[in-house]
Amino acid sequence: MRETFVATTTALLEEDPRTAVVLADISGDAFAPAQRRHPDRVINVGIREQLMAGVAGGLALTGLRPYVHSYAPFVIDRAYEQIKLDLGHQDVGAVLVSIGASYDASSEGYTHQSPGDVALLDTLEGWTVHVPGHPNEVPALLRAAARNDDRIYVRLSSQQNSRAYAATDKLQVVRQGWAGAPVVLAVGPMLDPVLAATADLDVTVAYTLTPRPLDTRGLRELVSREVVVVEPYLAGTSSRLVAAALSDVPHRGLHLGVGRAEQRRYGTPADHARWHGLDATGLRASISAFLRAGS
Amino acid sequence: MTTTAVNPDLLGTLLTRLTGDEKHAPSAYSTLDVLWVLYDRVLRVSPDTVDDPDRDRFLLSKGHGPAGYYAVLAAKGFIPVDWLDDLGGPESPLGHHPDRVLIPGVEIGTGSLGHGLGLGVGTALGLRAQGLDARTFVLLGDAELDEGSNHEAIAYAAAARLDKLTAIVIDNQSSTHGWPGGIASRFPGWTASTVDGRDHEAIEIALRQRDRDRPHVVVAAVEKKG
């Protein structure tokens, strides 16, 4: 997905004079050709993430459209107050594009992991969050973001599904269960593990790559009683929105995602998925237990 | 632009309306002289050009104690004088820290220290990328320099050769641990002027100074904060 991001943003720099890219060394080499062509609009501030966000706010105040990029823990966690004040409080927008997600950098350790990024943005007003599940979903998201001044977060990951879906902000039903079947909503790269985990379960599987704003109307239409949400970041991040969407119907909910406990282990992303119960086996166990408990 | 002599009576009257405090002369406000010189003699911006892409930008990073700023904005016609009577009220656009969304002519909303210079660097980069000739001025306090975010901006502004960026540091010696060696030495790669923050001629000369490829810092020394 990172390569797709670099290619699409490089093309946008060429096509749209409003486009600017702000880096803090991460992916600097990948953007070097674009920087040579557009030295005033490809800005590498060095290892200075607070400044990266401040510069984005300043660029936006002059009418440019900044794409801001680093590892998720550096662009979101570290620069949280700059995101809150230099963008939100100034009433300007930017497109923050992260890599690393919750545990792509599994062997780098917790310093390079951000399971809490979406929860942090949930404390702020007006953020759209895209969590693509496939590289081919990325260009349309980035191109759409060039046409407005919204505050947009694109959470790229090396974890991906086997196929791409439409880059829409609506829920997409991937597998239809019987009428009234429990609904399992998979966010971004959680879809393939969810499909594998529920292959022989009578459930409806829905997919979204835009969890913010969550398509609450689509969810309300889909859910009869049971809903399971599987997110690739902190477990329960969307529970508040799901509860609000279903506030007028009796329902049961299960929220799966990355646990809060720091693993203090390295290994591969697949290892971390297993430890957090987000591989197909773990998901199947959690979802089956949840469904049994309600029957 | 018309250049007028400082009118201490006018500013004093406006400040009294803001604060209800008749005891303090305008000189009690550390930023007031610099703000007046900026708006009266230097900045290419007026109430009619607050949305002009080519206007000069003034960013008050040190959002604390904005009474002097509001008084100057009112004196220059950016905001109605009667706004000054309700500082911090529930319906007032004027808070104890300024909000750009609520006040015409205010470029950034501030209050939390250490945000203005980064925004100023971004503003200067954005203006340069669009071929605009406008200058960007950012006003900070010496204690505000304690915030590390400023030093990210200071180093990068020099590296990026932001010649149209000017930082102004009002030095009332309020930084807890001080700046041994002087504030100007904390701006390596910049040109620097250190002036009496009450001397309007000296302030104007320092603000008009600019290098061809380096940012400029004006350290305006005023009385030590009591």
Instruction: List CB contacts (< 8 A) between B108 and chain A.
Output: 61, 90
Closest CA relative to residue A82, chosen from A55, A64, A113, A62: A55
Mutate which of A90, A91, A125, A149 to disrupt the B interface (most B C-beta within 10 Å)? A90
Given 3.40.50.970, 3.30.360.10, 3.40.190.10, 3.20.20.70, which CATH number is that of A2-155?
3.40.50.970
Longest Cα–Cα distance in chain B: 48
CB contact under 8 A, B149 and A61: no
Q: What is the pLDDT of residues B8-53, one digit of tens each?
A: 678 889 999 988 876 666 666 889 999 999 999 999 999 999 999 9
A166: phi then psi, degrees, rounded to nearest 5: -65, 140
Cβ–Cβ under 8 Å, residues B88 and B94: yes
Q: What total of structural domains would you count in chain B?
A: 1
Asked if the model's pLDDT at residue B2 lies above 60, the reply is no
Asked if the model's pLDDT at residue B70 lies above 50, the reply is yes
- Ranges of each domain in chain A: 2-155, 172-294
Instruction: List CB contacts (< 8 A) between A41 and chain B.
Output: 129
Q: Rounded to an integer, what distance in angstroms lies between the CA atom of residue B105 and that of residue B95?
A: 15
Residue B55 falls inside a structural domain: yes
Identify the pLDDT of residue B1.
Answer: 42
Closest CA relative to residue A189, chosen from A150, A231, A229, A226: A231
Cβ–Cβ under 8 Å, residues A258 and A278: yes
Q: What is the pLDDT of residues A162-196, one digit of tens each?
A: 999 999 999 999 999 998 999 999 999 999 999 99
Q: What is the CATH number of domain A172-294?
A: 3.40.50.920
Nearest CA in chain B to A39: B129
A105: phi then psi, degrees, rounded to nearest 5: -90, 55
pTM: 0.96
ipTM strictly over 0.90?
yes
Identify the pLDDT of residue B63.
Answer: 83
Domain span holding position B127: 8-221
Q: Rounded to an integer, what distance in angstroms lies between the CA atom of residue B206 and that of residue B204?
A: 5
As a whole number, mean pLDDT of residues A95-111 equals 98
* Nearest-CB residue to B153 (from A54, A60, A66): A54
Nearest CA in chain A to B106: A90
Which residues fall within 8 angstroms of residue B62, CB to CB, at 6 or more apart? B31, B110, B113, B116, B139, B140, B141, B144, B170
Q: What is the pLDDT of residues A51-83, one digit of tens each?
A: 999 999 999 999 999 999 999 999 999 999 999
Identify the pLDDT of residue B7.
Answer: 63
Residue B1 falls inside a structural domain: no
pLDDT band at A279; cut points 50, 70, 90: very high
Instruction: Check if A2-155 and A172-294 are the same fold.
Output: yes
DSSP B138: E
Mutate which of A47, A48, A49, A62 to disrupt the B interface (most B C-beta within 10 Å)? A62
DSSP B78: S
Q: Is the peptide bond before A189 cis (omega within 30 degrees of 0)?
A: no
Cβ–Cβ under 8 Å, residues B152 and B204: no
Nearest CA in chain B to A63: B126
Please state, rounded to an integer, the average pLDDT across all residues of chain B. 93
Residue B3 falls inside a structural domain: no
As a whole number, mean pLDDT of residues B116-137 equals 98
Cα separations (Å) of A155 from A99, A142, B200?
Answer: 6, 11, 51
Asked if the model's pLDDT at residue A153 lies above 70, the reply is yes
Nearest CA in chain A to B154: A51
Cβ–Cβ under 8 Å, residues A185 and A206: yes
As a whole number, mean pLDDT of residues B159-168 equals 98
Asked if the model's pLDDT at residue B64 lies above 90, the reply is no
Residue B226 falls inside a structural domain: no
pLDDT band at A283; cut points 50, 70, 90: very high
CATH of the domain at B112: 3.40.50.970
* Nearest-CB residue to B129 (from A41, A45, A56): A41
CB contact under 8 A, B53 and A63: yes
